[in-house]
Amino acid sequence: MKIGIVCHPSIGGSGLVATQLGVGLAKKGHEVHFIAQMRPFKLDELPNVFFHDVERINYPLFDDPLVTFALTAKIVEVATEFQLDIVHAHYSIPHSLSCYLANEISPHKFAVITTIHGTDVTIVGRDKPLFPLNRFSINRSCMVTTVSHFQKHYVEKHFDIEKEIVVVHNFIDSKVFTPNNYSDKTRAKLAAADEKIIMHISNFRPVKNTDTVIKVFKNLTEKVNARLILLGDGPELARTKTMCAELGIGDKVTALGKVRNVETLLPVADCIIQPSFNESFSMVALEAMACGVPPVLSNCDGIPEVVVDGVTGFMADPLDVEKLTDACYKILSDRVLAEKMADAGRAHAIKTFAWEEKVSEYEAVYQQAIVLR
Ligand code: GMT
């Protein structure tokens, strides 16, 4: 098949899932065309993978660079030139509507697939001005998928969607995310030999609940010699660092900012903590499990579909600092439990979220869409 993938070139989340899918499809022999404002950060050069840059429209009359129109025009251009069978929108806003418009405009018709990732319907997509546009374009997609059963039920409840929503869970390449993908040198650079490492990986938006991360870590420092490593960047990071300094734990916290190869750092952690208020899936939890790192998470939304509580990680209410602290402490202080959980997590990631299987599920969705087109 000839497939277009439209995504936000974000470091994690939907951009990462779209990239992994495109790469997986290319490995299976499909021709894949990425259409985005920047090359997705994990998109390496590969045969039969192409990247098409969406150039902004800068004209003095316009206050803004008309990014959504520029994207729509690029989809028309690429679909026509390469005779695409499918254009797959990852994250409905504004991609799904751009795909719909492009298909209306283009002389060459293609099947539009929309994958809903989370905040495109929970936070951004429920905003009053965007809601009707979002609902319209989701409804007009040939097929709609989402990344968890929680998210499917949420969309069905709030969006009045006429068609069936197919759940395809996110997935992982367990050869890339593996416990062995790090060197002792990396660990030595990050923490002292006798320090336990707790990691938090996020885009530091309010939804990630970083205050709770810091409160839990502060409690832990009273019982364990530990270091908190923060990966990623975002609007809450500066405030988070100030909070650490005020609590007197600033010297125990290292913020590394945005990193490209999280798989080379994640395996050094002894546990991760992600107490998000919303999470349709949590790629970070899956990546940690694949790396044999027990995750401690909130029990919200789609997270229980990823983590088996008490077996592959622990879950608690997002504001239950005490329970989250206890969970981390158990992992950091009980070696036998930590090893058992690490093995169970990796086995679960490999068995339930293998990329080969999930890419096949998307291929089946595409086949169905081509018939329906
Ligand atoms: O985590 C984020 O805030 C980024 C966001 C995105 O859309 O890129 O992530 C969403 O999609 C990911 C990939 O499907 C999921 O693993 C995340 O759980 C989801 N985030 C939320 O629902 C908050």
Tell me, yes or no, whether 345 and 363 share the same domain.
no
Flag whether 327 is in a domain.
yes
Flag whether 179 is in a domain.
no
Tell me, yes or no, whether 192 and 165 share the same domain.
no
Determine the structural domain holding residue 279 and report its residue range: 184-352
Tell me, yes or no, whether 134 and 245 share the same domain.
no
Flag whether 80 is in a domain.
yes
Using CA of residue 360, residue 154, residue 126, residue 130, what is the dihedral sign? positive
Residue whose structure tokens are 């800068």: 58
CA-to-CA distance for 183 and 204, rounded, in angstroms? 27
- pLDDT score recorded for residue 69: 96
Flag whether 338 is in a domain.
yes
Tell me, yes or no, whether 134 and 251 share the same domain.
no
Tell me, yes or no, whether 365 and 335 share the same domain.
no
CA-to-CA distance for 55 and 264, rounded, in angstroms? 33
CA-to-CA distance for 102 and 107, rounded, in angstroms? 9
> How far, CA to CA in Å, does 224 sit from each of 321, 333, 355, 359?
16, 8, 37, 42
Flag whether 109 is in a domain.
yes
Number of domains in the chain: 2
Flag whether 190 is in a domain.
yes
Query: Ligand 1: which of 5, 14, 355 to mutate, judged by most atoms within 8 Å of the beta carbon?
Result: 14
Tell me, yes or no, whether 135 and 257 share the same domain.
no
CA–centroid distance, 60 to ligand 1, in Å, is 35
C-alpha 14: how far from chain center: 5
Flag whether 84 is in a domain.
yes
Q: Is the peptide bond before 294 cis (omega within 30 degrees of 0)?
A: no
Tell me, yes or no, whether 359 and 336 share the same domain.
no
Residues with CB under 6 A from ligand 1: 10, 13-14, 17, 91, 117-119, 147, 170, 203, 205, 207, 278-283
- Could you identify the atom of ligand 1 that is nearest to the CA of residue 302? 18
Flag whether 256 is in a domain.
yes
Which parts of the chain sit beneath pLDDT 70?
Answer: none
Tell me, yes or no, whether 360 and 342 share the same domain.
no
> What ipTM does the predicted assembly reach?
0.97
Residue 210 phi/psi, 5-degree rounding, is -75, -20
CA–centroid distance, 279 to ligand 1, in Å, is 6
Query: Ligand 1: which of 10, 149, 281, 300 to mutate, judged by most atoms within 8 Å of the beta carbon?
Result: 281
Tell me, yes or no, whether 161 and 211 share the same domain.
no
Bridge partners, 274 (sequence order): 297
**What is the model's pTM?**
0.96
Atom 20 of ligand 1 has which residue's CA nearest to it? 279
- pLDDT score recorded for residue 4: 98
Tell me, yes or no, whether 274 and 158 share the same domain.
no
Instruction: Tell me the CATH number at 128.
Output: 3.40.50.2000
CA-to-CA distance for 352 and 214, rounded, in angstroms? 31
CA–centroid distance, 35 to ligand 1, in Å, is 20
Helix (H) or strand (E) holding 35: strand 31-36
Tell me, yes or no, whether 329 and 359 share the same domain.
no
Query: Ligand 1: which of 151, 280, 358 to mutate, judged by most atoms within 8 Å of the beta carbon?
Result: 280
Tell me, yes or no, whether 208 and 313 share the same domain.
yes
